[in-house]
A = this chain, B = another copy of it.
């Protein structure tokens, strides 16, 4: 599609609003921006952890858990199940909420669930280079895509061992910034 004009955004407070928003000077469209919800899961199978190597940016080639943006009109649990299916062709059973993480820099709230594989079948979806089950000891810790993936794996272990109670929040003192590649 081509358009006669390009959006030309200015910051202003729309009539009846209390906050400054981005508004297009051409047409007046208010581009509301809200925090985004990421839903995902730590998926176990016989004590192993399901992980996906990312085929897309950011952090292509690094390992993550199945997770992605919640869609409109979707419950977080449905979203977490959909992401596991899309990224790992895996059908999962969710057992409970593991953690609520916040990445304020990205205005992102992450809802991470505990889950198991419904059957031992999985493969790389479109957004994954490969999908693998890892023993706790063999998780590729140096090639993890995001800090919250480290947190989720550690929190899942804590929850499994029963020492601490889910849901967890951000790991104390830990940054949500990406490590340098």
Contacts and interface: CB of A to CB of B under 8 A. Distances in A.
A54 B29 CA distance: 29
**Stoichiometry (number of copies):** 2
Nearest to A105: B73
Interface string A53-89: 0000000000000000111111111000000000000
Interface size range on A against B: 35 or more
A36 B15 CA distance: 21
Shortest 5 CB-CB distances between A and B: which pairs? A3-B28, A7-B29, A75-B102, A5-B27, A7-B27
24 contacts: A3-B27, A4-B27, A5-B26, A6-B27, A7-B27, A7-B28, A7-B29, A24-B24, A24-B27, A26-B26, A27-B27, A29-B31, A31-B31, A35-B71, A37-B109, A74-B107, A75-B102, A75-B104, A76-B100, A97-B100, A100-B100, A100-B111, A165-B165, A167-B167
